[in-house]
Amino acid sequence: DTEVTQTPKHLVMGMTNKKSLKCEQHMGHRAMYWYKQKAKKPPELMFVYSYEKLSINESVPSRFSPECPNSSLLNLHLHALQPEDSALYLCASSQRRDNNYGYTFGSGTRLTVV
Amino acid sequence: RKEVEQDPGPFNVPEGATVAFNCTYSNSASQSFFWYRQDCRKEPKLLMSVYSSGNEDGRFTAQLNRASQYISLLIRDSKLSDSATYLCVVNSPGTYKYIFGTGTRLKVLA
Protein backbone atom coordinates (compact mmCIF):
# COMPACT_ATOMS: atom_id res chain seq x y z
CA ASP A 1 0.00 0.00 0.00
CA THR A 2 1.74 3.14 -1.23
CA GLU A 3 -1.10 5.58 -0.79
CA VAL A 4 -2.24 8.31 1.50
CA THR A 5 -6.01 8.32 1.74
CA GLN A 6 -7.96 11.44 2.62
CA THR A 7 -11.64 11.80 3.37
CA PRO A 8 -13.86 13.48 2.49
CA LYS A 9 -12.82 14.62 -0.99
CA HIS A 10 -15.13 17.62 -0.85
CA LEU A 11 -16.61 19.45 2.12
CA VAL A 12 -18.91 22.44 2.38
CA MET A 13 -19.38 23.82 5.87
CA GLY A 14 -20.91 26.82 7.53
CA MET A 15 -18.95 29.15 9.76
CA THR A 16 -20.58 27.73 12.89
CA ASN A 17 -20.07 24.06 11.97
CA LYS A 18 -17.58 21.59 13.40
CA LYS A 19 -16.11 19.08 11.00
CA SER A 20 -13.06 16.84 10.72
CA LEU A 21 -10.74 15.88 7.90
CA LYS A 22 -9.18 12.44 7.99
CA CYS A 23 -5.96 11.05 6.61
CA GLU A 24 -4.62 7.49 6.67
CA GLN A 25 -1.42 5.82 5.49
CA HIS A 26 -0.13 2.27 5.89
CA MET A 27 3.39 2.72 4.58
CA GLY A 28 4.95 2.82 8.03
CA HIS A 29 5.85 6.47 7.58
CA ARG A 30 6.57 8.15 10.90
CA ALA A 31 6.02 11.74 9.83
CA MET A 32 2.64 13.10 8.76
CA TYR A 33 1.75 16.58 7.60
CA TRP A 34 -1.14 18.91 6.95
CA TYR A 35 -0.83 21.45 4.17
CA LYS A 36 -3.20 24.13 2.95
CA GLN A 37 -3.15 25.14 -0.70
CA LYS A 38 -4.91 28.11 -2.27
CA ALA A 39 -5.36 28.38 -6.04
CA LYS A 40 -2.16 29.05 -7.99
CA LYS A 41 -0.04 28.99 -4.83
CA PRO A 42 2.30 26.29 -3.52
CA PRO A 43 1.24 24.14 -0.58
CA GLU A 44 1.64 25.93 2.74
CA LEU A 45 2.71 23.85 5.75
CA MET A 46 0.35 23.85 8.73
CA PHE A 47 1.39 21.01 11.04
CA VAL A 48 3.93 18.21 11.26
CA TYR A 49 3.62 15.13 13.42
CA SER A 50 6.65 12.93 13.94
CA TYR A 51 6.27 9.67 15.84
CA GLU A 52 2.73 10.75 16.72
CA LYS A 53 3.88 13.92 18.45
CA LEU A 54 3.25 17.42 17.16
CA SER A 55 6.66 18.73 16.14
CA ILE A 56 5.79 21.76 14.02
CA ASN A 57 2.85 24.17 14.22
CA GLU A 58 3.30 26.95 11.70
CA SER A 59 1.37 29.49 13.80
CA VAL A 60 -1.93 28.10 12.61
CA PRO A 61 -5.10 29.67 14.12
CA SER A 62 -6.69 27.60 16.86
CA ARG A 63 -9.82 27.04 14.78
CA PHE A 64 -7.68 24.30 13.18
CA SER A 65 -6.86 21.51 15.62
CA PRO A 66 -4.74 18.53 14.55
CA GLU A 67 -4.80 15.11 16.14
CA CYS A 68 -2.70 12.00 15.57
CA PRO A 69 -4.48 9.05 17.22
CA ASN A 70 -1.87 6.54 16.01
CA SER A 71 0.98 6.18 13.55
CA SER A 72 -1.36 5.61 10.61
CA LEU A 73 -3.99 8.26 11.20
CA LEU A 74 -4.04 12.02 11.18
CA ASN A 75 -7.08 14.21 11.71
CA LEU A 76 -7.71 17.90 11.33
CA HIS A 77 -10.61 19.24 13.38
CA LEU A 78 -12.26 22.36 12.07
CA HIS A 79 -14.37 24.78 14.07
CA ALA A 80 -15.65 28.31 13.43
CA LEU A 81 -13.84 28.63 10.12
CA GLN A 82 -13.90 31.73 7.95
CA PRO A 83 -14.61 31.91 4.21
CA GLU A 84 -10.92 32.68 3.60
CA ASP A 85 -10.12 29.22 4.97
CA SER A 86 -11.61 27.73 1.83
CA ALA A 87 -8.79 25.83 0.14
CA LEU A 88 -7.43 22.42 -0.77
CA TYR A 89 -6.21 20.65 2.38
CA LEU A 90 -3.50 18.12 1.69
CA CYS A 91 -2.20 15.41 3.95
CA ALA A 92 1.25 13.97 3.34
CA SER A 93 3.57 11.45 4.92
CA SER A 94 7.29 10.74 4.75
CA GLN A 95 9.59 8.02 5.98
CA ARG A 96 11.85 10.20 8.04
CA ARG A 97 13.49 13.57 7.94
CA ASP A 98 16.25 14.45 5.50
CA ASN A 99 15.43 11.47 3.34
CA ASN A 100 15.63 10.98 -0.39
CA TYR A 101 12.06 9.81 -0.80
CA GLY A 102 10.16 13.05 -0.26
CA TYR A 103 6.51 13.16 0.58
CA THR A 104 3.60 11.07 -0.51
CA PHE A 105 0.52 13.27 -0.75
CA GLY A 106 -3.11 12.35 -0.43
CA SER A 107 -5.52 13.60 -3.06
CA GLY A 108 -6.76 16.30 -0.73
CA THR A 109 -10.01 17.63 0.67
CA ARG A 110 -11.46 20.59 -1.16
CA LEU A 111 -13.04 22.70 1.57
CA THR A 112 -15.54 25.48 1.02
CA VAL A 113 -16.62 27.62 3.97
CA VAL A 114 -19.90 29.45 3.46
CA ARG B 1 15.92 35.98 -0.01
CA LYS B 2 13.26 33.26 -0.19
CA GLU B 3 14.33 29.82 0.96
CA VAL B 4 13.42 28.24 -2.38
CA GLU B 5 12.90 30.32 -5.51
CA GLN B 6 11.54 29.41 -8.91
CA ASP B 7 10.57 31.37 -11.98
CA PRO B 8 6.74 31.18 -11.92
CA GLY B 9 6.50 31.23 -15.71
CA PRO B 10 4.32 30.45 -17.53
CA PHE B 11 6.54 28.70 -20.01
CA ASN B 12 4.64 28.16 -23.26
CA VAL B 13 6.50 25.76 -25.52
CA PRO B 14 5.58 23.82 -28.68
CA GLU B 15 5.30 20.06 -28.63
CA GLY B 16 8.67 18.43 -29.10
CA ALA B 17 10.60 21.31 -27.56
CA THR B 18 13.17 21.02 -24.81
CA VAL B 19 12.49 23.13 -21.75
CA ALA B 20 14.51 23.71 -18.60
CA PHE B 21 13.52 25.00 -15.18
CA ASN B 22 15.84 26.20 -12.46
CA CYS B 23 15.31 26.46 -8.75
CA THR B 24 17.62 28.10 -6.20
CA TYR B 25 17.76 27.34 -2.50
CA SER B 26 19.23 29.34 0.34
CA ASN B 27 20.30 26.74 2.95
CA SER B 28 23.62 25.23 1.96
CA ALA B 29 23.06 22.39 4.46
CA SER B 30 20.02 21.06 2.56
CA GLN B 31 20.54 17.47 1.43
CA SER B 32 17.29 16.34 -0.18
CA PHE B 33 15.89 17.81 -3.37
CA PHE B 34 12.85 16.92 -5.40
CA TRP B 35 10.75 17.92 -8.34
CA TYR B 36 7.01 17.49 -7.98
CA ARG B 37 4.41 17.85 -10.66
CA GLN B 38 0.97 19.24 -9.91
CA ASP B 39 -1.93 19.16 -12.32
CA CYS B 40 -4.77 21.66 -11.96
CA ARG B 41 -6.93 20.89 -8.91
CA LYS B 42 -4.92 17.76 -8.08
CA GLU B 43 -2.37 16.90 -5.44
CA PRO B 44 1.38 17.25 -6.07
CA LYS B 45 3.01 14.03 -7.24
CA LEU B 46 6.68 13.19 -6.96
CA LEU B 47 8.30 13.43 -10.37
CA MET B 48 11.85 12.69 -9.32
CA SER B 49 14.37 13.05 -6.56
CA VAL B 50 17.51 14.95 -7.46
CA TYR B 51 20.84 13.30 -6.73
CA SER B 52 24.27 14.85 -6.54
CA SER B 53 25.48 13.11 -9.68
CA GLY B 54 22.38 14.09 -11.63
CA ASN B 55 19.75 11.61 -12.69
CA GLU B 56 17.58 10.85 -15.65
CA ASP B 57 14.18 9.25 -16.02
CA GLY B 58 13.12 8.92 -19.62
CA ARG B 59 12.69 12.42 -21.05
CA PHE B 60 13.38 14.07 -17.68
CA THR B 61 16.81 14.98 -16.36
CA ALA B 62 17.50 16.54 -12.98
CA GLN B 63 20.75 18.18 -11.96
CA LEU B 64 22.08 19.54 -8.68
CA ASN B 65 24.71 22.25 -8.41
CA ARG B 66 25.71 22.51 -4.76
CA ALA B 67 28.27 25.24 -5.30
CA SER B 68 25.68 27.57 -6.78
CA GLN B 69 22.82 26.11 -4.75
CA TYR B 70 20.44 25.37 -7.54
CA ILE B 71 18.69 22.41 -9.06
CA SER B 72 17.37 22.08 -12.55
CA LEU B 73 14.84 20.02 -14.45
CA LEU B 74 15.18 19.41 -18.17
CA ILE B 75 12.28 18.03 -20.18
CA ARG B 76 13.08 16.79 -23.66
CA ASP B 77 10.59 16.17 -26.47
CA SER B 78 7.76 17.90 -24.59
CA LYS B 79 4.32 16.31 -24.75
CA LEU B 80 0.94 17.97 -24.34
CA SER B 81 0.53 15.87 -21.21
CA ASP B 82 3.58 17.54 -19.64
CA SER B 83 1.49 20.70 -19.14
CA ALA B 84 1.39 21.21 -15.37
CA THR B 85 2.99 23.16 -12.56
CA TYR B 86 6.43 21.92 -11.52
CA LEU B 87 7.32 22.43 -7.87
CA CYS B 88 10.83 22.43 -6.53
CA VAL B 89 11.05 21.01 -2.98
CA VAL B 90 14.07 21.17 -0.65
CA ASN B 91 14.44 19.79 2.84
CA SER B 92 14.97 22.00 5.88
CA PRO B 93 17.98 20.33 7.52
CA GLY B 94 17.46 18.68 10.89
CA THR B 95 13.68 18.92 10.67
CA TYR B 96 10.80 17.08 9.05
CA LYS B 97 10.00 20.20 7.08
CA TYR B 98 10.28 20.50 3.33
CA ILE B 99 10.24 23.88 1.64
CA PHE B 100 8.28 24.38 -1.58
CA GLY B 101 9.14 26.78 -4.32
CA THR B 102 6.28 28.78 -5.82
CA GLY B 103 6.11 26.44 -8.80
CA THR B 104 6.72 26.94 -12.51
CA ARG B 105 3.79 26.63 -14.87
CA LEU B 106 4.43 24.82 -18.13
CA LYS B 107 2.04 24.78 -21.05
CA VAL B 108 2.93 22.62 -24.02
CA LEU B 109 1.17 23.79 -27.17
CA ALA B 110 0.05 21.64 -30.10
pLDDT at residue B96, rounded to an integer: 81
Please judge whether A98 and B100 are an interchain contact, meaning their C-beta atoms are less than 8 angstroms apart. Answer: no
Q: Which of A41, A97, A102 sits opposite B49 (nearest CB)?
A: A102
Please state, as a whole number, how many other Cβ atoms lie within 10 Å of the Cβ of residue B80: 10
Q: Which of B49, B96, B101 sits opposite A56 (nearest CB)?
A: B96
What is the nearest CA distance from B13 to chain A, expressed in angstroms? 20
The answer on pLDDT for B94 being more than 90 is no
**Chain A interface, mutation test: which of B45, B51, B96, B100, most A Cβ atoms within 10 Å?**
B96
Mean pLDDT, chain B, integer = 94
pLDDT at residue A98, rounded to an integer: 61
Q: B11-14 and B104-109 as β-strands: parallel, antiparallel, unpaired?
A: parallel
- Least confident window among A51-60, B80-89, B90-99: B90-99
Q: Which helix (H) or strand (E) holds A32?
A: strand A31-37
Please judge whether A90 and B95 are an interchain contact, meaning their C-beta atoms are less than 8 angstroms apart. Answer: no
Task: Give residue-wise pLDDT tens across range B4-37.
Answer: 999 988 999 999 999 999 999 999 999 999 999 9
pLDDT at residue A1, rounded to an integer: 62
Task: Give residue-wise pLDDT tens across range A18-42.
Answer: 999 999 999 999 999 999 999 989 9
* Contact criterion met (CB below 8 Å) for B30 and B9: no
